[in-house]
Amino acid sequence: MAGAVASAAGMFAGTNIDDIIVLTVLFLSSRATGSPRVWRIWGGQYAGFALLVLVSVVAALGLTIVPDDWVGLLGLVPLGLGVKGLVSAVRAKGDGEGGVPAVAATLPAVAGVTIANGADNISVYTPVFRTVGTASTVVMVCVFLVGVALWCLAGSVLGSHKKVIELVERHGHWFVPTVFVVIGGIIVVESGVLGRFV
């Protein structure tokens, strides 16, 4: 049992290190503008992660929902949200308004970013769930759920520094959406899905 806990903790940290950046940006945006609300960040993170685990479990049982070759298309979610945020920033600048655009203001949008950022989770969790058995899988999922809470707390702490919040309030209308565009672009490019269209 201790081995399953240690393995799950290592897998969670390894596959979700990039989520710290996303969560920090979301909490910064929340503190600077009030959007998304904190409960939406937590709820979206849990909803998105739960779906990733569910897909991994189903895939481990031998049922493929989304072919591996096309999982990279999920990167279009943060990419699209980021582009939308940049367009809002350009329009706000033209209108003389400032502030940080709400890139992922709703619970489903936060969940979508979490899911899009989780292609590596599915590729790691699926073979592990297939080999460890039901009891160890349940233990691992419980460890993952605790990990999500720790990640949300870490993102909240990292996003609570006054100077960083002031910086985001000043330049966040460009910074926050740009982070989402970069994350989405990396997911799409690293997955190799673009090569399937050429």
Q: Write the pLDDT tens digit of every residue in 184-195.
A: 777 677 767 666
- pLDDT beneath 50, residues of the chain: 96-98, 100
Q: CA-CA distances (angstroms) from residue 81 to 74, 179, 184?
A: 12, 10, 9
pLDDT at 161 (0 to 100): 74
Q: How many CA atoms lie within 13 A of 166 on its CB side?
A: 3
Distance CA 171, CA 98 (A): 9
pLDDT at 126 (0 to 100): 79
pLDDT at 145 (0 to 100): 94
Is 0.75 topped by the overall pTM? no
Q: What is the pLDDT of residues 122-151, one digit of tens each?
A: 777 877 887 788 888 899 999 999 999 999
Mean pLDDT of the chain: 78
SS3 193: helix
Distance CA 145, CA 138 (A): 11
